[in-house]
Copies of this chain bind each other. A is one copy, B any other.
Amino acid sequence: MYNAPIRDMLFVMKELAGLEDIAALPGFEDANLETAQAVLEESARFCGEVLAPLNVEGDRNPSSWRDGKVTATPGFADAFRQFAEGGWQGVQHPIDYEGQGLPKLIATPCVEMLNASNLSFALCPLLTDGAIEALLTAGTEEQKQAYVPKLISGEWTGTMNLTEPQAGSDLALVRTRAEPTGDGAYRIFGTKIFITWGEHDMAKNIAHLVLARTPGAPEGVKGISLFIVPKFLVNADGSLGERNDVHCVSIEHKLGIKASPTAVLQFGDHGGALGHLIGEENRGLEYMFIMMNAARFAVGLQGVSVSDRAYQQAVAYAKERVQSRPVDGSAKQSVAIIQHPDVRRMLSTMRGLTEASRALAYVAAAHCDIAHRHPDEAKRAEHQAIYEFLVPIVKGWSTELSIDVTSLGVQVHGGMGFIEETGAAQYYRDARILPIYEGTTAIQANDLIGRKTVRDGGAVAKALLAGIAQTVEQLGQQQGSAFASMQRHLAQGQRSLEAAVHFVVENTRRDPNAVFAGSVPYLKLAGIVLGGWQMARALLVAAQKQADDPSFYGAKIATAQFFAEHVLSQASAFEAAIVSAKGGEGVLALSEDQF
């Protein structure tokens, strides 16, 4: 069962991400709270009723491969038809191409619901979004017209083809070849692995976006071009032509997200797969990065989603399971385990991490909207920079914490959690891919350090730190233990992050190993401090509105205090692992055979 937390989502959208400011941007005039609420309610209904029940089914009865054809889990194709008919693929895409043109801030909770209800299913639209982004960024108008409306309507789906057996994180090693046919097209030859929804029976066609090298292209990442290679060729009138020479030779046997087929695609074993260049030659990686930013944000949201789903199931179990008397002797009988302090600690940890990562993601989505629509160019650039700073954190932090959250979800269930039929274990298995695909956490951390912190001398980071300092000040003006705890730990978090930013800016060029040995701690520190900042902002709002709804706002206050004491309190440990460790000298100095 999955109940979308609409009220929490609207709270974040309105109070933390500034939905009203977004609705004031040109083109988003209809994106007010009423619209948002209506869209979220409709999305919640579809995800809760149609997709959520299929989640377990997908785990028990994964996509299957036979003779090059992949059959999705029973029920998935029908659900995808309903998804397409509901217009859900187009929520944030342009009206010009038959999308709904809504802000990313409104699309984001819809995508969260999609993933929370069914992570495997949601990956198909996630990759299609990426293909749409790439085409809108770099495609010709003809390419856009030919593909984008079909992708938005759900008639076709999209994929991203980057990885090869020897080229995982390291795209410089890509070997797939693209040979010009002479009439403007290319024939593609090579093997791509780990292609999510790379083959399936849910849509009439699949648009593969493929990284490959043209003859004579420079070595390394500067010689990679982007191609669109449809499963079925597309005739001039938009109808489908011949089957293209791209074939699924197998799918993987995975730890989780089993309903989502992970394909090995063979291009060109029968003469070459016909493809077309997207944008300019040798600029493929750059275009791919644009769609990857969107995909990385979306994977971060997957972390929020699976965390929330695991939390919901753990809470339901904890309210139902009766075991042991209370430690304070307040009852002579065994009570529901939610009464036990450690179960509360676990649930509160799950809840706090989920809420903080959600808030950070939604705030990032709002920056993205402003970056696209604000009339003032300087404002656009400013918000674009903040969005880009936040993307690796949303991706890296939200997915890393989803492992902890889903692990706690198993733990709350005790022995039953280890039994597959209970369902808690599925989230634990599913979540494990999230810190890996679309760039591992280390890759996100490298991006955060190199492109996002060092390149501008820490300017964006420092602007955010200044904002946090203001919030710390506001907290200091309030009374009560929640404010006191949050003020103390957010202030320490701000100082720790400041020290880390300073260390990174000062040392990355001089001693890159020392900095990169602390790269993931730096990303996690940024996550807990920026996420904690959102919890602090929520606390300030909740305290003010508490009388309107003591239960809802009271829970926000308690969760913020808990987050400060149990999560933000780790800031100085991360600081130690980055700054004082200086790259753990000794460990870097060890020879390979000392491991």
Contact of A173 with B by CB under 8 A:
yes
Q: Which of B322, B485, B488, B587 contacts A348 (CB 8 A)?
A: B587
Chain B residue with minimal CB distance to A577?
Answer: B566
Q: CB-CB < 8 A to A518: which residues of B?
A: 345
Measured in the bound complex, the distance between the Cα atoms of B551 and A558 in whole Å is 51
Which of A98-106, A233-241, A435-443 lies on the face that meets chain B? A435-443
Cβ proximity bits A170-201 to B, threshold 8 Å, 1 near / 0 not: 10110000000000000000000010000000
Indicate if the CB atoms of A584 and B555 lie closer than 8 Å: no
Instruction: Identify which of A322, A428, A521, A565 gathers the most chain B CB atoms within 10 Å of its CB.
Output: A565
Starting from the known contacts A327-B513, A340-B516, A521-B566, 12 additional A-B residue pairs (CB-CB under 8 Å) come to A168-B323, A319-B592, A336-B592, A347-B595, A410-B432, A414-B440, A481-B586, A485-B581, A555-B590, A565-B580, A569-B572, A569-B576
Copies in the complex: 2
Contact of A478 with B by CB under 8 A:
no
Chain B residue with minimal CB distance to A566?
Answer: B577
Contact of A470 with B by CB under 8 A:
no
* Number of A residues, CB within 8 Å of B: 105
Interface residues of A in 279-308 (CB under 8 A from B): none
Measured in the bound complex, the distance between the Cα atoms of B429 and A70 in whole Å is 27
Q: CB-CB < 8 A to A589: which residues of B?
A: 558
Contact of A256 with B by CB under 8 A:
yes
A-B residue pairs, 9 tightest by C-beta? A558-B586, A569-B576, A565-B581, A342-B442, A341-B517, A341-B516, A255-B425, A570-B573, A170-B324
Q: CB-CB < 8 A to A419: which residues of B?
A: 252-255
Contact of A477 with B by CB under 8 A:
no
23 A-B residue pairs with CB within 8 Å = A168-B415, A170-B323, A194-B415, A253-B420, A254-B419, A255-B419, A341-B519, A342-B446, A342-B516, A342-B520, A343-B442, A344-B584, A351-B595, A551-B594, A554-B594, A558-B587, A558-B590, A559-B587, A561-B585, A562-B581, A565-B577, A566-B577, A570-B573
